[in-house]
């Protein structure tokens, strides 16, 4: 949920992304996952102006040593999404007061537009986190 949902989403989209397995730990094993379940945490695209007020953005992307747009792309799951990524099961409550439901809607729309396998359930009036 929430931050955990974001991390699950990032693991799902970066398992086959270049540079994410350069750590040298267990080099003989595939880092990709077979499916992602994310509750209230599909924070799709921090490059969008309306999503740049999150604590994550403030901590990571507001450094004078890093280009903000590059940093925002680096923390945005949408940046890494490709056809080889696993299927997604997304759930978000419309009354979530931490993560706007629109962020998961945006991610689900991107999944749909790219022909990705996913299921999205929106729970009306509920704050799942």
Question: pLDDT tens digit string along 52-92?
Answer: 776 666 666 666 666 778 888 888 899 999 988 999 999 99
Residues in the chain: 129
Written as six digits, the tokens of 15 are 């398992």
Comparison of pLDDT for 123 and 128, the residue scoring more? 123
Q: What's this model's pTM, rounded to 2 decimal places?
A: 0.83
pLDDT of the residue at 67? 77
What domains are defined for the chain?
A: 3-21+32-123 (3.40.50.1820)
**% of the chain exceeding 90 in pLDDT:** 36
pLDDT of the residue at 41? 76
pLDDT of the residue at 98? 81
pLDDT of the residue at 92? 93
CA distances (Å), 48 to each of 27, 44, 76, 125, 127, in order?
Answer: 35, 9, 10, 25, 23
């Amino acid at each position: 949920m929430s931050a955990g949902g974001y991390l699950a989403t990032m693991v799902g989209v970066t398992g086959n992304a270049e540079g994410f397995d350069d750590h040298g730990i267990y080099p003989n094993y595939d880092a990709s996952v077979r499916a992602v379940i994310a509750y209230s945490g599909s924070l799709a695209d921090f490059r969008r102006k309306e999503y740049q007020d999150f604590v994550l953005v403030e901590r990571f992307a507001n450094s004078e040593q890093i280009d903000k747009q590059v940093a925002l792309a680096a923390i945005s799951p949408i940046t890494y999404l490709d056809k080889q990524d696993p299927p997604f099961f997304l759930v978000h409550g419309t009354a979530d007061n931490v993560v706007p439901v629109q962020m998961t809607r945006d991610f689900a729309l991107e999944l749909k537009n790219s022909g990705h396998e996913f299921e999205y359930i929106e729970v009306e009036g509920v704050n799942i986190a």
